[in-house]
């Protein structure tokens, strides 16, 4: 059994990749968190006993913040906010996303600034460990005042409402709680708001986009290196001296990855004296373009690591000062910007790949058989596979439009500027799927081209990569039903199997 010990505020990106990808992972809350959690909950009780009026604890919410709630209705207040805010729509989040949402919320609440009892946090841990995942609709959050609708659907299960998946079966929340050996929880003052306020849904979507972008980045570097070999491209553009004088660290690191993958190749030796002066940009400028993508991925990763460990509900409880402060940490603008930057990187990774693949099927540029198949005319080869790549790359251009520049006021203009971070993160999955398809077509084409260069072989690492593909898809000797080949190659890209071929320190969560 694999266990992740959560020391609040200290989750790494590698930890969060495990949460997303490892189905059987178990969480445990480090005992060092207990004192802060308990002190925070005690502060809420003390403030109430002093008769103080505090937003969200004994007042209404949003525009109703000036409405004082009677003491006998405080428990009803917390239950009501969960039920009324569970207004999401659309298909349920995948289990991997829900695991991230739950782990991020546990980590945030356990920091001890949310005024929530330990037993509520431990109930979330129990649901996670029993693989009981709340049904959380994907749509309905604007990424400010927290991811209210998604987190309300998560929280509804704790009070015996809503729905959850138990062993893959969708059941009522009360049944899910019993399946976990738990009784529905009666929420104390502040607890409902603590649960449903925060950026955890936006962050979960964005983190999944980050992990996909990293896998795509490695696959694209491998595919691009294979294309250099298939097209008998020059090694000069990857020379370290070129990149050192420009100075961008992402570009420097990208060039190093290409040099490492391309080292000691028979194909390279076969055309050392070919006299070619320059290659097209899609081959020659890979370190510059992919280096810029790497910089965006790293910047997004840095923001998301901070956000994953942040306290983003409202109001916040500062037990040491006996104070409760209302602010705006729930505004997910940092997440929205990070997701938009990831969208740029994912789109450009795919755009460059499509251009390399188009080069390979053009015999005037690649000096390979037209459309990478023998007996052209009878066989169309990779002709329409490139059209598919072009369609996917074009779709990504539309999806890459920044979501963060949009805002619609909500809550009767009390919440008058929002981040749209949830959509910014959610659309990354579609974009990543598109780019995986583009890279799949390039991998097929590049390996086809390298097979035409036999008996010369590429480098050891690239031969390993080609072997991974050839385990799934054989050489394209004549026209056949093409879609399964692309599907298998795309699954290989998405699996992250190529990650072991590069220096893992280059990417943040590997």
The three state secondary structure string of 375-427 is CECCECCCHHHHHHHHHHHHHHHHHCCCCCCCCCCECCCCECCCCCHHHHHHH
Q: What is the pLDDT of residues 236-253, one digit of tens each?
A: 999 999 999 999 999 999
Query: Is-contact 160 174, C-beta < 8 A?
Result: yes
Any idea what the Cα angle at residue 144 is, between residues 143 and 147, rounded to 5°? 55
Q: Does 275 score more than 90 pLDDT? A: no
pLDDT of 57: 84
pLDDT of 462: 98
The pTM of this model reads 0.96
Q: Which residue, among 258, 244, 254, has the nearest Cα to 288 in the 3D structure?
A: 254
Classify burial at 80, counting beta carbons within 10 Å of its beta carbon; exposed 0-12, middle 13-18, buried 19 or more.
middle
| Token pair of 399 as six digits | 């999806």
pLDDT of 412: 64
Q: Measure the CA–CA gap between 70 and 308, rounded to whole angstroms.
A: 35
Q: Does 63 score more than 80 pLDDT? A: no
Q: Does 274 score more than 70 pLDDT? A: no
Q: Does 53 score more than 70 pLDDT? A: yes
Share of the chain above pLDDT 90, in %: 86
Share of the chain above pLDDT 70, in %: 97
Give catalytic residue positions: 55
168-171: list long-range contacts, CB under 8 Å, 24+ apart: 170/135
Q: Pairing between strand 3-6 and 26-29? A: parallel
Average pLDDT across the chain, whole number: 94
- Categorize the per-residue pLDDT at 60 as very low, low, confident or very high, splitting at 50, 70 and 90: confident
- 91 DSSP assignment: E
- Categorize the per-residue pLDDT at 381 as very low, low, confident or very high, splitting at 50, 70 and 90: very high
Q: What is the pLDDT of residues 298-307, one digit of tens each?
A: 999 999 999 9
Residue 287: strand, helix, or coil: helix
Q: Measure the CA–CA gap between 456 and 444, rounded to whole angstroms.
A: 18
Q: What's the length of the chain?
A: 510
Q: What is the pLDDT of residues 201-239, one digit of tens each?
A: 999 999 999 999 999 999 999 999 999 999 999 999 999
Q: What is the mean pLDDT of residues 308-312?
A: 98
CA dihedral over 108, 109, 113, 114, signed as positive or negative: positive
Q: Does 66 score more than 90 pLDDT? A: no
pLDDT of 273: 65
Q: What beta strand segments (E) does 297-376 contain?
A: 316-318, 323-325
Q: Within a 13 Å sphere around the CA of 251, how many CA atoms are in the beta-carbon half?
A: 19
Any idea what the Cα angle at residue 191 is, between residues 88 and 308, rounded to 5°? 70
Q: Which residue, among 242, 249, 218, has the nearest Cα to 226 in the 3D structure?
A: 218
| Token pair of 267 as six digits | 């194909």
Q: What is the pLDDT of residues 125-153, one digit of tens each?
A: 999 999 999 999 999 999 888 899 999 99
Query: Is-contact 74 187, C-beta < 8 A?
Result: no
Q: Does 62 score more than 80 pLDDT? A: no
Q: What is the mean pLDDT of residues 43-65?
A: 82
Q: Does 359 score more than 80 pLDDT? A: yes
């Amino acid at each position: 059994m694999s266990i992740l010990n959560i020391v609040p505020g200290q989750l790494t990106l590698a930890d969060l990749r495990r949460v997303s990808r490892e189905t059987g992972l178990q969480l445990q809350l480090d005992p060092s968190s207990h004192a802060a959690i308990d002190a925070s909950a005690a502060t809420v009780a003390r403030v109430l006993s002093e008769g103080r009026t505090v937003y969200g604890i004994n007042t209404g919410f949003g525009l109703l913040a000036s409405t004082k709630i009677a003491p006998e209705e405080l428990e009803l207040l917390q239950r009501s906010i969960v039920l009324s805010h569970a207004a999401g729509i659309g298909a349920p989040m995948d289990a991997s996303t829900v695991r991230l949402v739950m782990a991020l919320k546990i980590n945030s609440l356990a920091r001890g600034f949310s005024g929530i009892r330990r037993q509520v946090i431990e109930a979330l841990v129990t649901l996670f460990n029993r693989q009981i995942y709340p049904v959380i609709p994907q749509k309905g959050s604007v990424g400010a005042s927290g991811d209210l609708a998604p987190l309300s659907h998560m929280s509804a299960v704790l009070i015996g409402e809503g729905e959850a998946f138990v062993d893959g079966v969708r059941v009522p929340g009360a049944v899910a709680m019993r399946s976990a050996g738990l009784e529905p929880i009666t929420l104390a003052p502040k607890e409902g708001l603590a649960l449903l306020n925060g950026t955890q849904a936006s962050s979960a979507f964005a983190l999944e986009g980050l992990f996909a972008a990293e896998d795509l980045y490695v696959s694209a570097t491998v595919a691009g290196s294979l294309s250099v070999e298939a097209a008998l491209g020059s090694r000069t553009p990857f020379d370290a001296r070129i990149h050192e004088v420009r100075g961008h660290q992402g570009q420097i690191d990208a060039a190093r990855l290409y040099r490492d993958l391309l080292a000691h190749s028979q194909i390279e030796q076969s055309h050392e004296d070919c006299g070619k002066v320059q290659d097209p940009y899609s081959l020659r400028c890979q370190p510059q373009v992919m280096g810029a993508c790497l910089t965006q991925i790293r910047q997004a990763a840095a923001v998301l690591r901070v956000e994953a460990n942040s306290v983003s509900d409202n109001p916040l409880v500062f037990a040491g000062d006996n104070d409760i402060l209302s602010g705006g940490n729930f505004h997910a603008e940092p997440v929205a910007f990070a997701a938009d930057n990831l969208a740029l990187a994912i789109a450009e990774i795919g755009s460059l790949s499509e251009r390399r693949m188009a080069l390979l099927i053009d015999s005037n540029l690649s000096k390979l058989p037209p459309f990478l198949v023998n007996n052209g005319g009878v066989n169309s080869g990779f002709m329409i596979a490139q059209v598919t790549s072009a369609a996917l790359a074009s779709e990504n251009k539309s999806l890459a439009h920044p979501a963060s520049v949009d805002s619609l006021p909500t809550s009767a203009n009390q919440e008058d500027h929002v981040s749209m971070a949830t959509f910014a993160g959610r659309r990354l999955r579609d974009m990543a799927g598109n780019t995986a398809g583009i890279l799949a077509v390039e991998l097929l084409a590049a390996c086809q081209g390298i097979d035409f260069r036999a008996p010369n072989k590429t480098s050891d690492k690239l031969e390993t990569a080609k072997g991974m593909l050839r385990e799934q898809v054989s050489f394209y000797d004549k026209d056949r039903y093409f879609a399964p080949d692309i599907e298998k190659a795309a699954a290989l890209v998405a699996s992250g199997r190529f990650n072991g071929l590069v220096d893992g320190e280059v990417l943040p969560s590997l």
